[in-house]
Amino acid sequence: MNDIRRVAVVGAGQMGAGIAEVFARAGLDTIVCEHGSAALRAARARIDRSLHRAVDRGRISEQQRTDAWAHLLFADDLEALADRQLVVEAVVEDERVKTDVLGALDKVLADDDAVLATNTSAIPVTRLGIATDRAANVLGLHFFNPAPVMPLVELVSSLHTDPTVLNRVHTFAEEVLGKHVIRSRDRAGFVVNALLIPYLLSAIRLAEAGHATAQDIDTGMVHGCAHPMGPLQLADLIGLDTVQAIAKSMYEEYKEPLYAPPPLLTRMVEAGLLGRKSGRGFHPHRSA
């Protein structure tokens, strides 16, 4: 049995709330940490909607939903996380914000063996880990949206990550969370986004140039390549701001044109057209 039982998630937006739900459904003592009462209320509502959807779609029973809630606690102060064995940082995809959070957590965690994990989609983990005094215990644990449904996590080791810590979290993700785990070296974009983001950006450039409508681009990939979702639908689901942030991180590291955010993507993010989370992106959506 894996020894990690006390966990926390810092940041309860779309991804953080999903990760917290995964932990709670696995029977782990889970604290969700957000800044302020309004953010905590939003986190509770987000998790509640997701758990009810899981029941409605037959993924879990009503009893499992109740059990998950019994494992969730909410806090607005990092000090509440002092006894945690694993904390996942899931704040906005901004290097400065993430390093500030990880540095603060490093000072709060009482257990020298506690693991700090980042859910970053693209920022090199080494740069985040050196913001702490426990870089050997920092790694990337990258879930995919929606975290309770998607079976994969990427496990990313930095140049400092202790192999024993990496193996401990690998076992935890597989045996406790029931996830498929792939490992990546510490490169911007890791494995999945290194392949996915250029594809999404190519679709955006195709729409930007007027070669096809968003609907036709997505229909082409769904019915022509048997993809479950078109690239622009997927970009809307991920969040266009997140797609842009990942692309910027990858372009900053490699300076390859295929990673550069297209002007249309930049304009849409500036206009607040972020996809599903805002109610409109390349397609209209009901706001989350």
Instruction: Based on the residue annotation, tell me whether 154 is a catalytic residue of this protein.
Output: yes
Instruction: Based on the residue annotation, tell me whether 71 is a catalytic residue of this protein.
Output: no
Least Cα distance to 231 among 178, 282, 286 occurs for 282
Strands (E) located in 42-100: 72-75, 86-89
Spell out the residues 6+ positions from residue 41 whose beta carbon is closer than 8 angstroms to its own: none
Least Cα distance to 207 among 264, 160, 261, 162 occurs for 264
Instruction: Name the active-site residue from 50, 137, 193, 249.
Output: 193
Whole-Å CA distances, 25 to 30, 105, 145? 10, 24, 16
Instruction: Name the active-site residue from 89, 142, 158, 160.
Output: 142
Whole-Å CA distances, 101 to 31, 98, 162, 163, 210? 16, 5, 21, 24, 42
Instruction: Based on the residue annotation, tell me whether 278 is a catalytic residue of this protein.
Output: no
Helices 263-270 and 192-208 cross at an angle (nearest 10°) of: 90
Instruction: Based on the residue annotation, tell me whether 142 is a catalytic residue of this protein.
Output: yes
How many other CB atoms are there within 10 angstroms of residue 36's CB atom? 9
Instruction: Name the active-site residue from 89, 119, 154, 157.
Output: 154
Instruction: Name the active-site residue from 121, 158, 184, 278.
Output: 121
The number of C-alpha atoms within 13 Å of 111 and in the hemisphere containing its C-beta is 15
Spell out the residues 6+ positions from residue 148 whose beta carbon is closer than 8 angstroms to its own: 18, 21, 22, 25, 50, 54, 59
Q: Quote the distance between the C-alpha of residue 64 and its chain's center.
A: 23
The answer to whether 119 and 41 have CB atoms below 8 angstroms apart is: no
End-to-end CA distance of the chain: 37
Residues serving a catalytic function are: 121, 142, 154, 193
